[in-house]
Amino acid sequence: MTWDTSQYLKFADHRLRPATDLLGRIPVDAPRRVVDLGCGTGNVTAVLAARWPTAEITGLDPSPEMLDRARADHPALSFPALSFDVADAASWRAEPPVDVLYSNAALHWLGDHGALFPRLFDQVAPGGWLAVQMPRNFAAPSHTSVADAAMDGPWRKTIEPMLSAPPTHEPGFYIDLLSPLADMLDVWETEYIQILEGENPVAEWTKGTWLRPFLGALEGAERDGFESAYRTRVRAAYPPMPDGRTVFPFRRLFLVARRAA
């Protein structure tokens, strides 16, 4: 699957806020090695570089399209300690372990968090930090409308097998998982009340993220029909206010964990 970076960046300001909220909860002054796992277009990686200007900062992502945009927007001339490389979080290994392993809105694309999170924590040096933010909005109409629309046309045979349980668990799951491994653990949720502009902006939001693989599995009239069925449902669930803007509540899960020294 390919990423449409322009579509993803339509709401860059709203997507950046939880990333900086997560960053503000990492109590580290001068780490040596920092990795942004699932860095996408590199906007957050550049913020990490500004926060820790003496650190070696690496943005990792499996998408060449995202990394091309990251390198173009954040050139080495302006960010000499910042680099971007292709890597998949599902198999990536840190050599040597890093002082801060940061991941914003990426790990929900991967399954088996019961195995994934302890393995990622192993990539953190003793005394270092794992910091993660993931969407947990999968019970909201923005996401349940995918399954509803999937049953509404000839695309069902393609889309239905792609449907699965929400990828991000409740906070207690991560507390139980990481408490035995960490000497400090902070887990919390925030629901952001986002006010979006444009025509059917919630559909435009998900088109750049969660809806993308479902659209990518279809072609031609089936793709158009499925997207139309989805957009109709989402617009009804998130009607515009009198001024034309749309309120889009979005829940996110955060965790910050320190590995014992």
Instruction: Provide the residue-wise pLDDT of the chain in tens; the chain has 261 residues.
Output: 554 545 544 556 788 899 999 999 999 999 999 999 999 999 999 999 999 999 999 999 999 988 999 999 888 766 778 999 999 999 999 999 999 999 999 999 999 999 999 999 999 999 999 999 999 999 999 999 999 999 989 999 999 999 999 999 999 999 999 999 999 999 999 999 999 999 999 999 999 889 999 999 999 999 999 999 999 999 999 999 999 999 999 999 999 999 998
Q: For the chain, what is the domain count?
A: 1
pLDDT at 8: 45
Helix boundaries (H) for 130-248: 141-150, 156-159, 171-178, 201-207, 212-216, 220-237
Angle between helices 113-121 and 171-178 (to 10 degrees): 50
Residues contacting 133, CB < 8 A, separation 6+ = 18, 19, 21, 22, 103, 104, 105, 252, 253, 254
pLDDT at 77: 60
Q: Is 200 left (phi over 0), alpha (psi -120 to 50) or beta?
A: left
Domain harbouring 70, CATH code: 3.40.50.150
Q: Global pTM?
A: 0.91
Q: Domain residues for 94?
A: 5-259
Nearest of 88, 87, 96, 89 to residue 123 by alpha carbon: 96
